[in-house]
Amino acid sequence: MARDAELDRLKVAQDVAFQRKQNAYQAQQTACVKAFKTRLEQVRASSKKRRKEKKSIAEKAGVPLQYQDNVLISTDPDGITNIYFGGIGKPNGTGHGHYAMDRNGTVTYRREPFDPHGAQNFEENRREEVTLRMAQIAINQWARSAATPRVLQSEDSDFKV
């Protein structure tokens, strides 16, 4: 009898110890799940914020709307922000477009997807090209405006009539 009582007492002690261990395990698991969910929410919020910032930068640079959700943005040590978009398979894949902005947010380089690389993509060159075209149009209109044809002679960028 004493032996049965001793076995019963040990069994109860074992059951109590097992229950304590089980409760501790469940508490730890609950804490881990809660910590994981909290961290997951932080990562999702951070990712959403980053996507929003990328889209804002792309929008500011004038990236076409259909590409704004899938851009790769990098910043050079000198402060130039490069925006890649529209490549095959990834934003900077084959045939990608590339815009570059300086620290002031001015776009200095603009190449659309599948356009060739080169100096013609620098905004300064585009502005000069447009200015020259506009000047040529104005000169042509001026030359045609008189009753008698006017002759325009150019010497070293100086125009003489």
pLDDT of residue 31: 95
pLDDT at 118: 78
pLDDT at 2: 78
pTM of the model: 0.59
pLDDT at position 67 = 93
Position 38 scores a pLDDT of 96
**pLDDT attached to residue 119:** 73
**What b-and-e string marks burial along 133-159, b requiring 16 or more CB atoms within 10 Å of the CB?**
eeeeeeeeeeeeeeeeeeeeeeeeeee
Closest CA to 62 of 8, 116, 107: 107
Break the chain into its structural domains and give their ranges.
Answer: 2-121, 134-161
Low-confidence ranges of the chain (pLDDT < 50): none
